[in-house]
Amino acid sequence: MVYEQMTRAKSKGAIAHHLVKRVLPLIVSILTMGISIRADGGSVLWQRTMGSITVTAFTTQSPLRPGQADISFLVEDNEQSRPILDAQVFVTFQSETGVTMRTEATHAQARNKLLYCTLIDLPQSGHWKMTLLVVHAAEPMEFVSDLAVSQPQSPLIAHWKLVAFPPAIAILFIFQQGFVWKRNATHR
């Protein structure tokens, strides 16, 4: 009984150590992973003015490719020369083949909180029509533009980091072992 208690106490210490050492970093990395799904401004796609409003569209990917795309909009008041933060921005994407997708761009999805951002999954390449509906002070304004979505990247290029990391680590390991061997030979 005493032995069992002793081993249990030891094991609990080991478990705590294990939790701190292995599980905690994993949890932290998983939690922070979610944060990365936030959009950025990126490069300017176009800028349009209608009435008292100027809209600038941004994208982080250039060129756009099928898959998740991050498109953001800055809505500015021309008269007061300042960004408008209380508008509603709706975006419609329509492909040549007739695929239509509607979404709302919000500040919540944007890293730059002056922007309205949408993360949209573009299923195919080709020419898309992007229709932007900005509603500000109960006045809707529509901006239509073309969006060119290029061919998807070769999967090998898209995932080159993951494909290349094992051989890279292996080469580093061989060098490390070379140094170990050399050191051991010198000590002998």
**Which parts of this chain interact with another protein (CB under 8 A)?**
3-4, 7-8, 10-15, 17-18, 25, 28-29, 32-33, 35-36, 38, 40-44, 47, 54, 56, 60, 62, 67-68, 74, 76, 81-83, 85-86, 107, 110-114, 121, 123, 155-156, 159, 162-163, 165-167, 169-170, 173-174, 176-183
59-63: which pairs have CB atoms within 8 A and are 24 or more residues apart? 63/148, 63/149, 63/150
Q: Which residue number, 81 or 97, has a Cβ lying nearer to another protein? A: 81
> CA–CA separation, 139 vs 75, rounded Å?
14
- Smallest distance from the beta carbon of 178 to another protein, in angstroms? 6
- Smallest distance from the beta carbon of 121 to another protein, in angstroms? 7
Contact 36, 86 (CB under 8 A): no
- Smallest distance from the beta carbon of 100 to another protein, in angstroms? 17
CB atoms within 10 A of CB 138: 5
CB atoms within 10 A of CB 93: 22
Q: Which residue number, 107 or 129, has a Cβ lying nearer to another protein? A: 107
Q: Which residue number, 49 or 100, has a Cβ lying nearer to another protein? A: 49
Q: Which residue number, 111 or 136, has a Cβ lying nearer to another protein? A: 111
Contact 59, 43 (CB under 8 A): yes
**Burial status of residue 64 (CB atoms within 10 A of its CB: 0-12, 13-18, 19 or more):** buried
- Smallest distance from the beta carbon of 181 to another protein, in angstroms? 4
